[in-house]
Structure 1
Amino acid sequence: MLLGIDLGTGSVKALLLAIDGTVIAEASHAYTVQAPQPGWAETDPAEWWQAVAIAVRTVMQNQDDCLPNDRVLAIGLSGQMHGVVLTDEQGEPLRPAILWADTRSSAVVERYRTLPLNLHKQLANPITTGMAGATLLWLEAQEPAIYKTARWTLQPKDWLRFRLTGAVATEPSDASGTLLYDVMADTWAIDVLEALHLRANWLPAIVPSASIAGSLTVEAAAHLGLQSGLPVVAGAADTAAAMLGTGVLAPGIVQLTVGSGAQIVTLRSQPIPDPQVRTHLYRAALPHQWYTLAAMQNAGLALEWVRQLLGLSWQQVYAEAFTVAPGCEGLTFLPYFTGERTPHLDPNARGAWVGLGLHHTRSHLMRSALEGVAFSLKQGLEAIVATGIDANELRLAGGGTLEPEWKQLLADVLQLPLHSITVSTASARGAAILAGMGSGAYADLSAVPPVSSTAYPTMPRSPDVGLTDAWSRYQSLYPQLRYWRKHLP
């Protein structure tokens, strides 16, 4: 068996994968994201460590009784991108981890914009808050003692691997999402670090995603309930691992994943940056591959906030929202609760309901939230297409797109056929596959078992006047509200 561990934003997921690709068992355990100040997002890594043990022990207890003599051959990791975990020499965190959704660096990130053009070309990505480089600039300015004391700056899953093995490393898919990485040269961007006066000696060595980066220590094995000495593979960033886990192995597929945020991704065989710098370009989990990413920060995150605010169960959400006509009788929702990346690159963007009237009910509020998230995905798709990608249909993945009426709304807004695929815990599955590749269970990529799933196509209906009008309102609102935010007290 192969064990994949995905260290997500709000929970860790563990998955046991048989060599033939069968999912044997899976489990998850949640932890908290703290916001000690508005715009901040932090988690104590000690919570990650405890949650990993609970999830792994649970998944081992839940494994199929028909495999009593099977054992874990290797461990693979995936995790949330962009964060910063500052540690001492032994890997002990010096402060809570700062996460991708954190916008505290919005002022200091302007230092990136003063870099010369040749350095921007090395980064090949939009300059946004929440990235490790921007966060480190904030830490240098605001917490200089910790900044100077720290021995390592790590991505979340790389910190977890350090804790599991005692070995420090990163790999290209996570490193390329830090704004400290030369995407074109495939290495740390030392010129950028020097220009920003950031330290370079605390960055870990970069190893291939499928390489063995260490072995499970006796202490970590006791914590997880596993045998010590197990090989631990470097792993990959969650989006890169999820592509591997859902079977996106070659260019030509465009995939939409909806979770807390949403991502539209497609593989490339060459690193081709977005000339408008609205989408991201990162390294994939497999060698000699990159992927273009449109990243929308507020999908399930915004819908969950609205659901709780309105006092609805998810069953009530779908039962009530779709009794309302498309366009919600003039009500429009912007989902930018944590700022937005694609296409606005604006950490200060905020959410809103606009057009409220006495005739609107909570059903209108909920339906407009679903439409607003769908419209944000449409803007992300347009940005992907503008990079030269042909999108004639979308593969749809992620747990946030199971309800048929919600899928139909997405198809109607995007005006593309959607082919839903049902893959359990895609990032953890991708991590397990990397464990198989690194440990020799899979001799090469051709030995990786194909994704066993059924595609359920959802075809778009003819454009609805209500949705068409709502889309026009949606597009016009962000520029107007941005002006209001900038010019009014």
Structure 2
Amino acid sequence: MNGVANVKRGEILLGIDLGTSAVKALALEATTGQTLGEGRADYELLTPQPGWAEGDPEEWWRQTVRAVRMALQLLEPEQVVAVGVTGQMHGLVPLDAAARPLRPALLWPDQRAVEMLPHFASLPAALRQSLANPLAPGMAGPFLCWLAEKEPESFSRLRWALQPKDWLRLRLTGEVASEGSDASATLLYDLPRDRWASDVMAALGLSAELLPPLRSSDERAGELTAQAAQELGLRAGLPVATGAADVAASLLGAGLLSVGPALFSLGSGAQFASLCEQPLADPLLRTHLYRAADGRHWYRMAAVQNAGLVLDWVRRRYQASWSELYASSQRVLPPEDPLLFLPCLTPERPYHPRPLAAGWLHLRLDHERSHLFQAALEGVAFSMRLALEALPGAEGIAQIVVAGGGSLHPGWRQMLADVLGRELSALAEKEIAVRGAALLAGRAAGRWKKTGDLAALKPGVLTITSPGPHSPIYQTRYLRYRDLLLSSSAAVLEAG
């Protein structure tokens, strides 16, 4: 039946997405791919010190229970046949021998481990090359080095170094594991050899025993424990898939199963991702290379840290609604208006030059609230264009599929198409990461013979947005933005 093997109508696949500030749950009908129920529960991103970003795993779990019960409240929970997980990438959840968190989790926006990056930069050339990724402080490798140096008492009791979604699966099954899409984003993974980089761990003075065993993303990694089942309102013993990192799960959930189109995902951060056949890194190590969830492909990714994270900051500081903020995208600042917004509230990726300052520049007395909002959206969009231009092979990408909650407003989507100068195909399903997790649950339960069978469940396209008449204005303003960044970055380098 359309490539769907051994699936009974009415069976439900449950996906869970452990995000940066919220957990989402989705109930998927296995034969049609129809969304039957959704749940979302928020939690706080903890910032105990400037530049720090942490999360409370126990609060993650409490809100996961809420989200799952919300998604299933109008359904029959006994129809759930499998569970899959995804979640925010990078980060570190440190556990003791009893699998209890030693401290709050360290998350991807966190900058405390920047002083550990020289340890990685000074690795022998062959080891540094095997990581195949730019150095970023919010990854598990630098966090582990920071923990060893700055919190030796906690580090002495460390038994497992897990990614956020791997901690969630441990809570569901009692089994410790990880998989390639998250492992390859730690700076502790040998990309060409497709395995943990034990030689890098040794060079950093870290024990490889801290890293969990690796499984396939669509593998049955364990079964739902009686305790977890009781809290979630599910049957004990359900198969739980290993799962995948959120971008890898999003590629799967969007139906991008072969090389060609690129996924443009908009959330707290933003990512451009495209599948590739071989693990060939960016020669300049500006963009990322990670394992895909299908076990066959890899994907290249150019990420923007200061996306929804920054827009939410602007919105909260001015006590605006999302509707008001996005509505400002429907006005366009004239080419000659000097007002610009530099969105680098946290350090950005290597292809985004580091400016002297962040925020609004060239303010005038006639600039009003809506001008500030429009400039903020524009600045974030410009940073996304910088990322796209850095993605290897971007010039050959014929189709960009856009997804995520940040892609819903038509005015904002039009601005993005104008700035990027590309046609954007918006999917009818906005929550594609958690959808990908649900599909991996089906694979783990043996519902499809191979990943390619999932093509029958590919979500449809809601609308296509092409660059409009304002695109030339944005091209002019983008060049001004880029020139300002380059000159500001040069000043930063000159100042040391």
- Whether TM exceeds 0.5 here: the answer is yes
Normalising by the smaller structure, the TM-score range is over 0.9
Residue of structure 2 in register with 1:305 after alignment: 313
Q: How does 1:289-438 map to 2 (within 5 A)?
A: 289-327=297-335, 329-341=337-349, 343-344=351-352, 351-384=358-391, 386-387=392-393, 390-438=396-444
Task: Please say which of residues 446-455 and 296-305 is displaced more in the overlay.
Answer: 446-455
**Could you tell me which of 41, 47, 52 is aligned with 1:35?**
47
Asked whether the equivalents of residues 250 and 432 of structure 2 are also in contact (C-alpha less than 8 Å), the reply is yes
Residue of structure 2 in register with 1:479 after alignment: 486
Residue of structure 1 in register with 2:73 after alignment: 61
Q: Does residue 8 of the first structure (1) align with residue 19 of the second (2)? A: yes
**Could you tell me which of 261, 266, 273 is aligned with 1:265?**
273
Residue of structure 1 in register with 2:64 after alignment: 52
SS in 1 for 2:23: strand
Q: How does 1:18-417 map to 2 (within 5 A)?
A: 18-20=29-31, 21-63=33-75, 68=76, 71-327=79-335, 329-341=337-349, 343-344=351-352, 351-384=358-391, 386-387=392-393, 390-417=396-423
Relative to structure 1, is the Cα distance of residues 464 and 207 closer, same or farther in structure 2, using a 3 angstrom cutoff?
closer
- Structure 1 residues 84-106: Cα deviation after superposition (integer angstroms, max 9, x where no partner): 01111221100000001101011
Relative to structure 1, is the Cα distance of residues 79 and 465 closer, same or farther in structure 2, using a 3 angstrom cutoff?
closer
CA distance, structure 2, for counterparts of residue 155 and residue 350 of structure 1: 32
Relative to structure 1, is the Cα distance of residues 444 and 285 closer, same or farther in structure 2, using a 3 angstrom cutoff?
same
Asked whether the equivalents of residues 85 and 93 of structure 1 are also in contact (C-alpha less than 8 Å), the reply is yes
Relative to structure 1, is the Cα distance of residues 401 and 326 closer, same or farther in structure 2, using a 3 angstrom cutoff?
farther
- Structure 1 residues 342-383: Cα deviation after superposition (integer angstroms, max 9, x where no partner): 51386x985221111112111111111111011111111101
CA distance, structure 2, for counterparts of residue 345 and residue 387 of structure 1: 21
- Structure 1 residues 214-246: Cα deviation after superposition (integer angstroms, max 9, x where no partner): 111111111211111111110000110011001
- Structure 1 residues 427-482: Cα deviation after superposition (integer angstroms, max 9, x where no partner): 11101100101111122224323223234111113565542332122112333434
**Could you tell me which of 458, 462, 482 is aligned with 1:451?**
458
**RMSD over aligned Cα, in angstroms?**
1.9
CA distance, structure 1, for counterparts of residue 356 and residue 28 of structure 2: 41
Task: Please say which of residues 298-307 and 278-287 is displaced more in the overlay.
Answer: 298-307
Asked whether the equivalents of residues 295 and 342 of structure 1 are also in contact (C-alpha less than 8 Å), the reply is no
Relative to structure 1, is the Cα distance of residues 126 and 358 closer, same or farther in structure 2, using a 3 angstrom cutoff?
same
Shift of 1:308: 2.2
User: After the TM superposition, which parts of structure 1 deviate over 4 Å for at least 4 consecutive aligned residues?
Assistant: 462-465, 483-489
Asked whether the equivalents of residues 12 and 51 of structure 1 are also in contact (C-alpha less than 8 Å), the reply is yes
Shift of 1:312: 2.1
CA distance, structure 1, for counterparts of residue 77 and residue 415 of structure 2: 47
Relative to structure 1, is the Cα distance of residues 276 and 326 closer, same or farther in structure 2, using a 3 angstrom cutoff?
farther
Structure 2 length as normaliser, TM-score? 0.93
CA distance, structure 2, for counterparts of residue 351 and residue 37 of structure 1: 19
The amino acid of 1:7's aligned partner reads L
Asked whether the equivalents of residues 402 and 424 of structure 2 are also in contact (C-alpha less than 8 Å), the reply is yes
The amino acid of 1:228's aligned partner reads A
- Structure 1 residues 166-204: Cα deviation after superposition (integer angstroms, max 9, x where no partner): 111101100000000001100000111111112211110
Task: Please say which of residues 134-143 and 304-313 is displaced more in the overlay.
Answer: 304-313
Relative to structure 1, is the Cα distance of residues 124 and 387 closer, same or farther in structure 2, using a 3 angstrom cutoff?
farther
- Structure 1 residues 309-362: Cα deviation after superposition (integer angstroms, max 9, x where no partner): 22322222244453343448210111111211151386x985221111112111
- Structure 1 residues 259-285: Cα deviation after superposition (integer angstroms, max 9, x where no partner): 111000000111111011111000000
SS in 2 for 1:107: helix
SS in 1 for 2:210: coil
SS in 2 for 1:292: strand
SS in 1 for 2:417: helix
CA distance, structure 1, for counterparts of residue 389 and residue 77 of structure 2: 51
SS in 2 for 1:360: coil
The amino acid of 2:389's aligned partner reads E
CA distance, structure 2, for counterparts of residue 432 and residue 285 of structure 1: 13
Structure 1 length as normaliser, TM-score? 0.94
Shift of 1:484: 5.0
Shift of 1:111: 1.0
Task: Please say which of residues 114-123 and 466-475 is displaced more in the overlay.
Answer: 466-475
SS in 2 for 1:160: helix
Gaps of 5+ in 1: none
Asked whether the equivalents of residues 257 and 452 of structure 2 are also in contact (C-alpha less than 8 Å), the reply is no
Asked whether the equivalents of residues 20 and 88 of structure 2 are also in contact (C-alpha less than 8 Å), the reply is yes
CA distance, structure 2, for counterparts of residue 77 and residue 23 of structure 1: 16
The amino acid of 2:199's aligned partner reads D
CA distance, structure 2, for counterparts of residue 34 and residue 247 of structure 1: 34
**Could you tell me which of 17, 32, 49 is aligned with 2:28?**
17
Relative to structure 1, is the Cα distance of residues 125 and 151 closer, same or farther in structure 2, using a 3 angstrom cutoff?
same
Relative to structure 1, is the Cα distance of residues 350 and 284 closer, same or farther in structure 2, using a 3 angstrom cutoff?
farther
Gaps of 5+ in 2: 1-11
